[in-house]
Structure 1
């Protein structure tokens, strides 16, 4: 799916619904990857700024509309939006050493608000929504790209994050948590997929 192709977004959701029959859970994990890797703000091409904000925020909302409409028509469902610490915390990693570019941080910060608003507007119609920060993940891409070596070296395997999200979408999908923000690796520790963090003085 090309996130920059507006005309392809809604049909992609419709195709998923047609192929699967219905949607009980959706995990919105698509991101826009900049050409040539992340750059400092003043070095970023203006078109790339627009594409990043579109791909990581606007396109996500356009995908959410038919997803949520379908779920509401069926009496509810679970929406999990993949966020990022880049949109929540003040990260100290520079560009070239795992640090994100400004537009990505801004887009993710905006996307973080989608879950709590969906919970507020459609919680009484059965919609349960969460934002999940996967943390550092040792994906195939982070292992291949030299500039992402810091992420790969500190990251967990994608299967750990996937299992944590699956738990949240089923066992953990309680209405009192509706609209909340979660860290996937903390969930993984809670359910025994990762060892607990060692406390330091």
Structure 2
């Protein structure tokens, strides 16, 4: 039969309490630390990408941009690649527009059936002259003299810390940065020819 003093001694015994408390707190602490590092890395990468894009945007406005476009793209990829994992992908998109106010605008169309869609053969103005209606009327590439260019970088990479599934985030991070520029007036701007087409 176990004597009563044994239970009193057991209730007062605090041996191993620190280890037990640490075992309870450690997982939460590790998730918190990894989350802070993950968020910090993402913010730093985003700030770096914005800075690189501003520099690239200034370089693309120069008259030498057509000859140096590949080198400018490579510089963006190299600089952002210095802080990202090796499997990171960098997608660079350039859309040129006749005027700044054209950026982000869809091609105009006559919504005959009032359904809010360009369809059923409705006529539209083919600003980028590619034979189809587009939600963005820009031309692919950096365009020509005096054109307004929207230059966007989209970067995707796997998270550096295994914290995503623990707190309900995606395993992959996507950051993006854009800059808008106008090509230097080294020549007369081309006349905008926008034929009409029909929506499919």
- TM (normalized to structure 1)? 0.23
- TM (normalized to structure 2)? 0.23
- Judging by fraction of residues, say which structure has more helix: 1
